[in-house]
A and B are shown apart, each in its own frame.
Chain A
Amino acid sequence: MTLLPKQPLVEFDAVEFGYDVRQVLTQVSLRVMPGEVVAVMGASGGGKTTTLRLIGGQIRATAGRVCFDGRDVGAMRHAELYAARRRMGMLFQMGALFTDQTVFENVAFALREHTPLPESMIRDLALMKLNAVGLRGARDLYPAQLSGGMARRVALARAIALDPALVMYDEPFAGLDPISLGISARLIRTLNDALGLTSIVVSHDVDETFAIADRVFILGNGTLIADGTPAELRASADPLVHQFVRGEPDGPVSFHYPAAPLQTDFLGTQAGRR
């Protein structure tokens, strides 16, 4: 008996995307296999969040194919797209919790909308998800009463409420204190392994992300410039990867926004200054 090769859960095939005149992604091809924790990294405005929005079908590729579980997301009809989204969880950068609902109601929201389960079972399921992120005791709080780290953990509990196949994290570490950051990173890895998920993490934070990711994709100028395991990328001789991994100010990516020569601004005539 031969084992069939695993099919990628998410696949980008020569994907392009742009807003009006600005091209965001150019010829991006990548694969995410089931069970992996994959990181998408790169400079701000480099198209990282766009990749998540393409997978979720909130925007559609202008060229190429974005496939989820073998099906082209861009070609899905409304009902098919919503069926696919039930198998995805998304953690937004600031949590995006419903501010008029308690922590418990936020986590129970998708269960109430999509399942005919009785209220007692919804309660147990929501509390189990909250317990997994350590916030069972915060069930009656409103989002305004939570810290940034707690809000994102609640959002994570909400994202895994329907036991999705894929969880996408948009900047899960941004603005967190070191303790919350460490907790969040470990939680992503632990939940991925314990629940049999596949995770895509969009992040800037090299150390925390490299510590939990199986593979890392680095986007630069809208193209995929590197991919590999964290160890491979740390050892990479590519100057762009080297600069990104070590956070060096000088390298292929310039610290300065394009500007006129220094002489023009500081040593030129008064008339030339602005």
Chain B
Amino acid sequence: MSVVLGFLASIGFGTRRLLANLGYGLRLFLRLLALLPGALRRPQLIAQQVFFLGNYSLSIIAVSGLFVGFVLGLQGYYTLSRYGAANSLGLLVALSLVRELGPVVTALLFAGRAGTSLTAEIGLMKAGEQISAMEMMAVDPIARILAPRFVGGLITMPFLAAVFSAVGIVGGYVVGVLMIGVDSGAFWSQMQGGVDVFKDVGNGVVKSLVFGVAVTFVALYQGWRAQPTPEGVSRATTRTVVVASLAVLGLDFMLTALMFST
């Protein structure tokens, strides 16, 4: 009997904690949205974060984009050549990148590179009582620390995704045209004719904006709620990668279904 009661109690406790965390997360998210106009009035703080998040992620994004482009060029050529459609390689590479791989892979890399550093930075600030010190100086740490980072992540993600896609297309060109010998004119003209600015590129940008919100918020939330101990910060950093990656993949499915269903 006591085992059953214990089991039921643990379910109840877990559910209550989950709901409490969701509620706290929602309140923090709404608070960040409300603080956006104020954050935009201090562009220097946002510029620092764009530099910190974007510049340091640029190399990993560019290198990853290049290799993904290489693989797309190679795999695309093998598959398309079976149907005699190798000239459409440029279109396949571009659509794959701007619609899907650009936003998604960038967001996953961003979670691993910038998201973890955001979580660790805020968690360590908490452990070092810097957040408490700021509160005692009558400075709202959500407005001063979280909001500029949130805006910075939001701005950075579409640019990083654009870099990823652009470098990926170059990678596809190098493998498809320069190494395999697909016709250069066909590669570019098919891409130009088949990629729609609004439906393909525009929706890709919308995706990367949504992923930017999701990944940056998850990273900030985990840092903000981290236990102020080395183990707590370590666990929070791991949770950032896991939760942000799953959120990106889940959101991607929903957005793809909404955007490209017709």
User: What residues make up the interface of A, taking CB atoms closer than 8 Å to B?
Assistant: 56, 58, 82-83, 85-86, 88-90, 92-94, 96-99, 109-110, 113-114, 155, 158, 162
Contact = CB atoms under 8 A, between A and B. Distances in A.
Contacts, number: 49
B137 A110 contact: yes
24 contacts: A56-B135, A56-B136, A58-B132, A58-B135, A58-B136, A82-B140, A85-B137, A85-B138, A88-B136, A89-B136, A90-B133, A90-B136, A92-B133, A94-B128, A96-B130, A96-B133, A98-B130, A109-B137, A109-B139, A110-B138, A110-B139, A113-B138, A158-B137, A162-B137
B138 A82 contact: yes
Given A86-B138, A88-B136, A113-B137, A99 B129 contact: no
Contacts of A86: 138
B139 A94 contact: no
A92 B138 contact: no
B129 A96 contact: yes
Pick the most buried of B129, B135, B138, B139: most chain A CB atoms within 10 A of its CB.
B138
Listed from nearest, the 3 A-B pairs whose CB atoms lie closest are A96-B129, A96-B133, A85-B138
Interface residues of B, number: 13
A99 B128 contact: yes
A83 B137 CA distance: 10
**Residue picked from A96, A99, A114, A158, most chain B C-beta under 10 Å:** A96
A263 B99 CA distance: 75
Nearest to A170: B129
A8 B136 CA distance: 21
B225 interface: no
A85 B129 contact: no
Contacts of A85: 135-138
A174 to B, nearest CB: 13
Interface in B108-134: 125, 128-130, 132-133
B239 interface: no
A155 B128 CA distance: 13
A98 B137 CA distance: 12
B213 to A, nearest CB: 25
Given A90-B133, A93-B129, A96-B130, 7 more contacts: A82-B138, A85-B136, A96-B129, A99-B125, A109-B137, A110-B137, A158-B137
Given A90-B133, A92-B133, A96-B133, A114 B128 contact: no
Contacts of A114: 138-139
A116 B255 CA distance: 45
A161 to B, nearest CB: 8
A90 B137 CA distance: 8
Contacts of A113: 137-139, 144
A114 B139 CA distance: 8
Interface in B133-151: 133, 135-140, 144
Nearest to A79: B138
Contacts of B132: 58, 92, 96
Contacts of A88: 136
A90 B125 CA distance: 17
Contacts of A158: 137
Contacts of B135: 56, 58, 85
A96 to B, nearest CB: 4
A213 B226 CA distance: 38
